[in-house]
Amino acid sequence: MKKSFLLILMLISISVFSCKKDEERSCMTCSSIETGPFEICHETDGTASINGQNTGTPYDEYLSGLQESGADCN
């Protein structure tokens, strides 16, 4: 019984900690000829924000659109 409880507790702990990494906000700097440097962030809800303003657009879609229009993102 104790082994089952410990195994279940360990699995729950692993799943909680692995999900926390997905919830982190990550940002990078982009620039283009038309604009100066700006920050694009991948928000925890999966959308993109530009200089702190949430666009409401999925991050991958927004980033690919920026890159297709000539923006350089690092």
- Dump pLDDT digits (tens) for 26-60: 999 999 988 889 999 999 999 999 999 999 999 99
In a domain, 51, yes or no: yes
pTM of model > 0.75: no
How many domains, in total, are found in the chain? Answer: 1
In a domain, 11, yes or no: no
Q: Are 46 and 58 in contact (CB under 8 A)?
A: yes
Question: What average pLDDT does the structure give for the chain?
Answer: 82
**Domain span including residue 74:** 24-74
Specify burial of residue 49 (Cβ count, 10 A radius: 0-12, 13-18, 19+): buried
In a domain, 4, yes or no: no
Query: Which of helix, strand or coil describes residue 39?
Result: strand
Percentage above 90 pLDDT, the chain? 58
Instruction: Give the E-state strand segments of the chain in sequence order.
Output: 26-31, 38-42, 47-50, 53-58, 72-73
